[in-house]
Structure 1
Amino acid sequence: MKFDSLSKKCLISLGVAILVINIQQSLTAAPIESAKNQPINSLTAPLPARNTQTTNLVLKLSDRRVYLYRGDKLATSYPVAIGKAGWETPVGSYKVMEMQRDPVWEHPWTGKLVPPGAKNPLGARWIGFWTDGKNFIGFHGTPQEKLVGQAVSHGCVRMRNQDILALYAQVDVGTPVTVNP
């Protein structure tokens, strides 16, 4: 049987949670102003100003929260579930490597594929930030939202589904992710 790249990357057992986030804020352009009723010549008009604040994620395992920063200012934070004893979420500096909408999960022992939907342990989004070449760790949703706030995963960072959707919209591949004890 042939698996897509996400299925191969989701070989971590059920409940694996995903954490990762470093985000670049969307570019914003200042409007070009001109005198009333004066047409703007596209060849001589000033270029719009760009605002390129860096977005990054900081996961504090002891707080069981991921913090989203824009520049040096805290924008928001979300509660998370982290790796349990023997399957700890790795501490260190990483970058978002992969982002998937409606991921397919492959059971690591049976190879059974779980399609997107209510029974998928990855929820609606996957944000991958760590791999050893075989296993993958990232931020993801969960159908077991009552476990958010606990150390219950196999290394991934589990989030409430509404929170992973919000986080996914604010990060990009390459966003820095720092995992602190």
Structure 2
Amino acid sequence: MKNIQKTDKQLVINIAEQTLTIYQQQTEVTKYSVSTAKNGMGGQQDSGCTPLGQHIIAEKIGDRSPINAVFVGREPTGERYSAALGAQHPERDWILSRILWLRGLQKGINTGSNSQGSCDTYQRYIYIHGTPDSEPMGVPLSHGCVRMRNTDIIELFEQVEEGTPVMIVAD
């Protein structure tokens, strides 16, 4: 298991504001509009909720992939998202451009399990990832992940390392 990276950067995802903020040495550097879970906050398996608490970026996936590259099971399919492809597959939850796979650090909250069952962010495949540009930001609509504009996730991907701390807060 990877440990927290010795870095002066931290990401804070604020669910009430629907924002992701990069802090460097505790100073705000950049703020992005995001979309978290339509089902609200929570860590339980199959809840469709965005987990709260302390996390790290466990894995960075998609380096050098083209913008709008489609991922299924964390693997590029070779497809590039377009409105026509979206219309052909309306059932898909589009994961595009880059993936930052999160791992929870708080036992019983976002890693391992608790009295209600599994609550493991990593095993739930919770990511920060790109989504079609037609999807609104600033509105909770995801299935648990943190969605971003494709240009924003590519920019963020270049600024962070595996092990970078990520705090997900309610407000």
TM range (shorter): 0.5 to 0.7
Task: Tell whether the 8 Å contact from 1:59 to 1:179 is kept in structure 2 after alignment.
Answer: yes
Matched length: 127
Picking from 129, 153, 166, the partner of 1:177 is 166
The equivalent of 2:59 in structure 1 is 98
Q: 1:97 to 1:129 in 2, by over 3 A?
A: same
Q: 1:81 to 1:174 in 2, by over 3 A?
A: same
> Which digits, 9 at most, give the CA deviation of each residue in 1:5-38, with x for residues without a partner?
xxxxxxxxxxxxxxxxx987xxxxxxxxxxxxxx
Q: 1:130 to 1:145 in 2, by over 3 A?
A: farther
Displacement of 1:122: 1.2
Picking from 151, 156, 162, the partner of 1:167 is 156
More strand by share: 2
Task: Tell whether the 8 Å contact from 2:71 to 2:96 is kept in structure 1 after alignment.
Answer: no
Identity, % of aligned pairs? 29
**Corresponding letter in the other structure for 2:48:** W
> Which digits, 9 at most, give the CA deviation of each residue in 1:54-95, with x for residues without a partner?
111000000000000001110001000001115221001010
**Corresponding letter in the other structure for 2:126:** I
**Corresponding letter in the other structure for 1:63:** E
How high is the TM-score relative to the length of structure 1?
A: 0.62
How high is the TM-score relative to the length of structure 2?
A: 0.66
Structure 1: gaps (5+ residues)? 1-21, 25-52, 108-112
3-state SS of the aligned residue for 2:153?
helix
